[in-house]
Amino acid sequence: MRSVHHAFGKRDVVQGIDLDVAPGEVVCLLGPSGCGKTTLLRIAAGLEVLQQGRVALNGGDIAAPHARHVPPEKRNVGLAFQESALFPHLTVLENVTFGLKHEPPKERRLRALALLEQLGMDGYADVYPHMLSGGQQQRVALARALAPAPQLMLLDEPFSSLDARLRDRIRDDTLHVLKKVGAATLLVTHDPEEAMFMADRIALMCDGRIVQTGTPRELYCAPCDPFVVTFFGEVNELSGEVRNGCVDTPVGAVDAGWLAEGTRVRVMIRPEALHVVERKVADTGHRYSHIIMAKLLGRSSLLHICAHGEDGREAHLHARMPGVFLPADGQPVDIHLDSSQVFVFPSVAGTGTG
């Protein structure tokens, strides 16, 4: 899609979106609630009439300002939503074969059974939807969307109504099937972990615009602005100033050599960037830090730390250490900074934290 704009009344909810999905690629539209993800998906599906820009499938316009609006059923796209309703009076097999009207019955049946098997639903072909759990219904809905082998799959929060354990399994199966059939897929989610698991590329949206597009690794390891950093999880934020190519913080100096001397900056430090080591001997030397509180969260421990810089500045920070690491309250600690998880951005008026 190119330069896609969309407004509801006077409110612009999609503003100048350019996005490509290659055959076999899974692209996740990720972003907070209300940023325009579903609207964009509905435009691609033809459920919203395009207002500005163009949408093409396989090189041919399916929606453009002076072109005919191609209705959803003629677009060769597969749709599955959060609560995809199955036809209650049809069996699972009949639901999945529903869109395969042009094929001989035997082929229809074989294709549907193969998809059901790939999604872990073999043995349910003759069952009616009301006899299935929510997770099973969602699998059938995915199989139904995939059955006509669409060029483009459009999935809107397809796993969000499932409980956590089931969700992981269905995500896994779905990704496997999507890759096997080689469909181009656009998947909407507000869950960064889901996007990182499912996506070849993520398009992170905010207020109707794409802020950054890239592989999960690019967005996580090379975020282009503070919004991208914060979207992928909790972050400690400090302010500072560039001096001799660095920013001094209570947990060490951070490289900022690409910024002009004196630039005011935001330093964003992921809790995982702080490696905490207990001090064996009480030390009153510089960079003295101590534990305020330690909590076990299961696979990791969250430490609330008070760090003191050389200049006497104090900062309260969260550190996350793998496994069980629970120093006593007040325990002196040393902190080592993993610079790959620290990001420095120039402060913009009104966005700094002072």
What gap in Å lies between CA 199 and CA 215, rounded to an integer?
A: 8
x/- mask, ligand ATP, residues 249-278, rule CB under 6 A, reads: ------------------------------
| Closer Cβ to ligand ATP, 39 or 249, answer by number | 39
Contact between 19 and ligand ATP (CB under 6 A)? no
- Residue whose CB is less far from ligand ATP, 124 or 231: 231
Closer to ligand ATP by Cβ: residue 19 or 35: 35
Binding string, residues 140-179; x marks residues near ligand ATP by CB under 6 A: ----------------------------------------
Contact flag: residue 8 with ligand ATP (CB under 6 A): yes
Tokens of 80: 């599955």
- The contact mask relative to ligand ATP for 189-208 (x = CB under 6 A, - = no) is -x------------------
Give the amino acid at 32. Answer: P
User: Footprint of ligand ATP on residues 312-351 (CB under 6 A)?
Assistant: none
Long-range contacts of residues 306-312, Cβ cutoff 8 Å, at least 24 apart: 307/250, 307/251, 307/335, 308/250, 309/248, 309/249, 309/250, 309/251, 310/248, 310/286, 311/248
State the Cα–Cα distance between residues 349 and 60, nearest whole angstrom. Answer: 44
Q: E strands of the chain, at which residues? A: 2-8, 11-17, 26-30, 52-57, 60-63, 77-81, 152-156, 184-189, 201-206, 209-214, 236-243, 246-249, 252-255, 264-269, 274-278, 289-296, 300-308, 314-322, 332-337, 342-346
| Sole binder of ligand ATP in the list 33, 105, 280, 298 (CB under 6 A) | 33
Determine contact, residues 28/203, Cβ cutoff 8 Å. yes
Nearer to ligand ATP, 26 or 344 (CB): 26
Q: List, as one string, the DSSP characters of 253-282.
A: EEE-TTS-TT-EEEEEE-GGGEEEEE-SS-
For position 38 contacting ligand ATP by CB under 6 A, the verdict is yes
Judged by CB under 6 A, which of 13, 153, 202, 274 binds ligand ATP?
Answer: 13
Q: Which is nearer to ligand ATP, 42 or 270 (CB)?
A: 42
Q: Which is nearer to ligand ATP, 136 or 189 (CB)?
A: 189
CA-to-CA dists, residue 303 to 135, 161, 293, angstroms: 36, 32, 6
Give the single-character DSSP code of 133.
-
Site size with ligand ATP, rule: CB under 6 A: 11
User: Cα-atom radius of gyration of the chain, to the nearest Å?
Assistant: 25
Binding ligand ATP by CB under 6 A: which of 19, 21, 30, 37? 37
**Residue number with CB closer to ligand ATP (33 or 353):** 33
Q: In whole angstroms, what separates CA 135 from the centre of its chain? A: 21
Phi, psi angle pair for 30, to nearest 5°: -115, 145
- Closest distance of CB 291 from ligand ATP, Å: 38
Which of 34, 233, 245, 330 binds ligand ATP (CB under 6 A)? It is: 34
Q: How far is the CB of 33 from ligand ATP (least distance, A)?
A: 3
**Site residues (CB under 6 A) for ligand ATP, limited to 173-192:** 190
Give me the residues that bind ligand ATP (CB under 6 A), please: 8, 13, 31, 33-39, 190
